[in-house]
Amino acid sequence: MEEILKSLGITGKQSGVSTGKHWLPGGGAEITSVSPVDGKAIATIRGASREDYDAVVVTAHEAFKTWRQWPAPRRGEIVRQIGEALRKHKHDLGRLVSYEMGKSLQEGFGEVQEMIDICDFAVGLSRQLHGLTMHSERPGHRMYEQWHPLGITGIISAFNFPVAVWSWNSMLAWVCGNVCIWKPSEKTPVTALVCQRIVETVFAANEVPEGVCNLVVGGRETGEWLAADPRVPLISATGSTRMGKEVAATVGARLGKSILELGGNNAIIISEHADLDMALIGAVFGAVGTAGQRCTSTRRLIIHEKVYDAFIARLVKAYSQLRIGNPLDENNHVGPLIDKDAVNAYLKSIAQISAQGGKFLVEGGVLEGPGYETGCYVRPCIAEVQNHFAIVQHETFAPILYVMKYQTLKEGIAFQNDVPQGLSSAIMTLNLREAEEFLSAAGSDCGIANVNIGTSGAEIGGAFGGEKETGGGRESGSDAWKAYMRRQTNTINYSTKLPLAQGIKFDL
């Protein structure tokens, strides 16, 4: 890993504040990134002081005045080159993502691939930022709408996807004509530094104005500066529901805009008509992938009573075959939790399950011994519960899977919907009527609803996000780009008269 870090330009103590051309000294608190894989310090980052932050915002604001006038296809060409640079660094960056965050190596590579994919999407988008034309009720008039960039996009990202979610936002924001200020998770700042340097190289080669791509590493206070800053019209924040509510209140109080991607409590309904082989793969990967630390992780299995016992038997057997260990070893399925705080939350949830009447079908616990010295490796567990249990209504970022029975599809959908969160959902069924009912207005109330695939993961082409306490924002594909722009309605009078709308007369 030391050779990889050196190849990526990370050695010793680093500044965590950049305007895309210059790295400021970093006068804030120091943050040391420690890998949950082996407990070793990766690097120490000097965070942003308030003075550093203000300097970055001023530079970004000035850069926007120039960047917004670059033709969108030209901005798209810059993003295309970023995608090429990411392809070049995919192996090393993917390993670093795995090492710093703790997800499996294949998931680390997959995260970098998501970055490459969103670059490709954004390049095409740069030639499709279209509006509409409308017929005017007044003769000799034409109406249309167009979209303009907002200004500075503030991006607050989470540790579980330390680079992909930043790219979802930044690549779209850039082709739309915005500039970006990225506040990465203080738990995974090293991957952010590497991404910043990759982008800076591309920007320098294309004479992109300083301040289009900015980085401010810091803790909670740094995120609060962004959320409260009226100079930052859009905040995109990924994290817990608690954090999102605070961001929404702060941004809303200044009438700013926000994109919120928050908690998930995702369920798979397994029908009596399901292909149980497919269902097993989707359920296990959804529950234990990234050690249960995805916002789309499968938290609940709602299983039809006719197949419940058979499926549980297969599920328990599959869990007994899971290999837990160093995520850089491709033979392992599950890596560590991010840190000891996450482990404590996992243990607290296990205690609450027992206290509230849950029955463990696969026991959990913290692993000890050679290879597990960090204390961050835990056993994925399965608990038989009732959907109304308080702990089941709560999102725990850990590999804890809740299972329960249902009798009718209506009951199963009701269980699926009866939680505060509304991100991802799925049904496993070969019955067309069941699939269509699940996708209907009376079906899943989540932003993502799948048939015969799991809850975890998403493709770039679709808009990503959820409802209820998940926040309601959308990122990535479809028309999510509109959130990064302001709509303007235009009316042009090419006649020799000035008729008023609604037939109003005003004679002088």
C-alpha–C-alpha distance, residues 191 and 158, integer Å: 12
In terms of Cβ atoms closer than 10 Å to its own Cβ (0-12, 13-18, 19+), residue 209 is buried
Q: Are 263 and 421 spatial neighbours (Cβ–Cβ below 8 Å)?
A: yes
Give the number of other Cβ atoms within 10 Å of residue 432's Cβ. Answer: 10
**In Å, how far are 2, 161, 415 from 285, measured between CA atoms?**
30, 17, 21
Q: Which residues pair with 257 in a beta bridge?
A: 234
Pairing of strands 152-156, 179-183: parallel
Question: What's the order of all strands across the beta sheet hosting 141-149?
Answer: 133-134, 141-149, 485-493
Q: Are 334 and 290 in contact (CB under 8 A)?
A: no
DSSP secondary structure of 69-132: TS-HHHHHHHHHHHHHHHHHHHHHHHHHHHHHH---HHHHHHHHHHHHHHHHHHHHHTT-----
Give the C-alpha separation, 224 to 237, whole Å.
11
Residue 35's φ and ψ, nearest 5 degrees, are -75, 130
Rounded distance, CA 319 to CA 356, Å? Answer: 24
d(CA 18, CA 213): 8
508: which DSSP letter? -
Which amino acid makes up residue 206? N
CA dist 467 and 489 (Å) reads: 29
Tokens 């529950």, located at residue? 287
User: Are residues 413 and 348 in contact, defined by beta-carbon separation less than 8 angstroms?
Assistant: no
Active site residue ranges: 261
